[in-house]
Amino acid sequence: MTADIDQQTADWLARIAAADSPSDVEALRVEALGKSGAITAQLKTLGKMSPEERQTTGAALNRMRQEVQAALTSRKEALEAAELDRKLTEEAVDVSLPVDHGRTGSVHPVSQVMDELAEIFADLGFAVATGPEIEDDWHNFTALNIPEHHPARTMHDTFWFPKEEGEDAPKLLRTHTSPVQIRTMTDGEPPIRIIAPGRVYRSDSDATHTPMFHQVEGLVIDRGIHMGHLKWTLETFVKAFFETDDVELRLRPSYFPFTEPSAEVDVRCSFAGGKLTITSDGDDWMEILGSGMVNRRVIEMCGLDPSVWQGFAFGVGIDRLAMLKYGMTDLRQFFEGDLRWSGHYGFSPFAVPTLSQGVGA
């Protein structure tokens, strides 16, 4: 009897192996193990068997049922896997097709450099101050110790507005960010540490001058501040901004009505191979900014006592800093709005200057 069952098992397994679709497998399952399936019917005879018969034939029948069941399951899975493979093959696409992943815009180099400056000077304790671009004569000139008809005024190529009724002097477009010094000193109390970046205007136009450009003003007013502090601040700034410790500055006596003593500041550099490098090994000097100790008269004019408070100020062209650091050669292009220029010189919005990542993009 058990030999017969073994034969039946072999027959079932052969038929299952030969099934070539999930529905064939299902038909075989019904035929073998369904409610009225052949193996089901055989198992129903177990109850009528003697205990001895049940031990032998019964065990053999159960074994057959398990083996057939296992074969059915495994065959079904194999067929389904093959079916899925075929379906996936049919679904394959040309992965080389291009997709539009959106575009990232750009941040203007002047904005980027302003953010860099804010970051560097924040570490030195300088806040960022602002002021109006349409200024009055007093803030732009008089309070800065440039009285009317001072020869320094003619150096400024000022844009004027027509004189309005009731005005002592016509309004103007600020020629430098220095009026923010005045506003800061008249509005607040020392100690003061600020930088004031912003747009300034002079009626001048060529490859290195545009009628509008950007400056940043620095101002420190405190007790006991002297030119040595100015020199250190500028050295520290230049090192941080140009990301090199190999910096040598030269202070050169100069003249600005609002500082006394005044100094132009040059940085040692090299133009070897037509390329500007800031290095203390260079054989050239490049003027980068003007500075000095705030003129006592300016401090007085802002209502502070110059025997208590003194300090320094400096002013530097932001566009020029950008050009020196990032290699633009024509200032005019900064303001022409050419998208090709933005693509070439603009910065990723994600390149936020921070002290931990570095202030250079």
Partner 1 sequence: MKFTLSWLKDHLETEASLDEIVRTLTAVGLEVESVDDPAARLAPFTIAEVVSAEAHPDADKLRVLRVETGSGEPLQVVCGAPNARAGMKGVFAAEGSYVPGTGITLKPTKIRGVASNGMMVSERELELSEDHDGIIDLPDDAPVGTSYASWAGLDDPVIEIGITPNRQDCLGVHGIARDLAAAGLGTLKEGTVELVPAAFPSPVEIRTEDEEGCPALYGRVVRGVKNGSSPAWMQRRLRAVGLRPIDALVDITNYLMLDRARPLHVYDLAKLDGPLVARKAKAGETVEALNEKTYELAPSMTVLADDAGAHDIGGIMGGERTGVSADTTDVLIECAYFDPVSVARTGQALSLYSDARARFERGVDPGFLEGGIELATRLVLDLCGGEASDIARAGTPPTEKKIVSYDPALCASLSGVDVDEAEQARILSELGFDVDRAFPWSVTVPLWRRDVDGAADIVEEVIRIHGLHTVPSTPLPRGEGVAAPTATPAQTMERRVRRALAARGLDEMITWSFVSDAEAEAFGGTSFRLANPISADLVAMKRSALPSLVSAARTNLDRGARTVRVFELARRYLDDGERPTVGILLAGLSREKDWRTGNEAGFDIFDAKAEALAALAAAGAPTDNLQVQAGASDWYHPGRSGRLMLGPKTCLAEFGELHPRTARAMDVGGRVAAAEVFLDAVPAAKGKRARPAFAPPALQPVLRDFAFLLDQAVPTADLVRAVAGADKSAITEVRLFDYFEGAGVPEGKVSVAIRVTLQPGDKSFTDEELSAISAKVVAAAEKRGATLR
Among 13, 38, 251, 286, binds partner 1 (CB under 8 A): 251
> If we measure between CA atoms, which residue out of 102, 175, 108 comes closest to residue 135?
175
What type of residue sits at position 173?
Answer: L
Phi, psi (rounded to 5 degrees) for 279: -155, 145
Of 28 and 247, CB closest to partner 1: 247
Q: How far is the CB of 272 from partner 1 (least distance, A)?
A: 21
Are residues 254 and 291 in contact, defined by beta-carbon separation less than 8 angstroms?
A: no
For the CA atoms of 106, 129, 255, 320, the dihedral, rounded to the nearest 10 degrees, stands at 0
Of 64 and 294, CB closest to partner 1: 294
Distance CA 10, CA 17 (A): 10
According to the annotation, is 260 in a ligand binding site? yes
| Interaction residues for partner 1, span 263-302 (CB under 8 A) | 263-264, 293, 295-297
> If we measure between CA atoms, which residue out of 242, 268, 264, 267 comes closest to residue 327?
242
| Interaction residues for partner 1, span 136-165 (CB under 8 A) | 148-152, 154-155, 159-162
Among 7, 41, 338, 358, binds partner 1 (CB under 8 A): 338
Are residues 259 and 313 in contact, defined by beta-carbon separation less than 8 angstroms?
A: yes
Tokens of 39: 């193996």
Is residue 128 within the footprint of partner 1 (CB under 8 A)? yes
What type of residue sits at position 127?
Answer: A
Is residue 208 within the footprint of partner 1 (CB under 8 A)? no
Q: How far is the CB of 178 from partner 1 (least distance, A)?
A: 16
Is residue 166 within the footprint of partner 1 (CB under 8 A)? no
Among 81, 250, 305, 344, binds partner 1 (CB under 8 A): 250
Is residue 115 within the footprint of partner 1 (CB under 8 A)? yes
Are residues 155 and 290 in contact, defined by beta-carbon separation less than 8 angstroms?
A: no
Among 38, 107, 169, 276, binds partner 1 (CB under 8 A): 107
Q: How far is the CB of 106 from partner 1 (least distance, A)?
A: 5
> If we measure between CA atoms, which residue out of 110, 103, 182, 107 comes closest to residue 146?
182
Among 21, 203, 244, 357, binds partner 1 (CB under 8 A): 203
Is residue 239 within the footprint of partner 1 (CB under 8 A)? no
How many residues touch partner 1 (CB under 8 A)? 90
Cβ-proximal residues to 282 (8 Å cutoff; 6+ apart), any chain:
268, 269, 270, 271, 272
| Interaction residues for partner 1, span 19-78 (CB under 8 A) | none
Q: How far is the CB of 260 from partner 1 (least distance, A)?
A: 4
With H, G, I as helix, E, B as strand and everything else as coil, classify residue 348.
Answer: coil
Residues of each annotated binding site for Mg(2+): 260
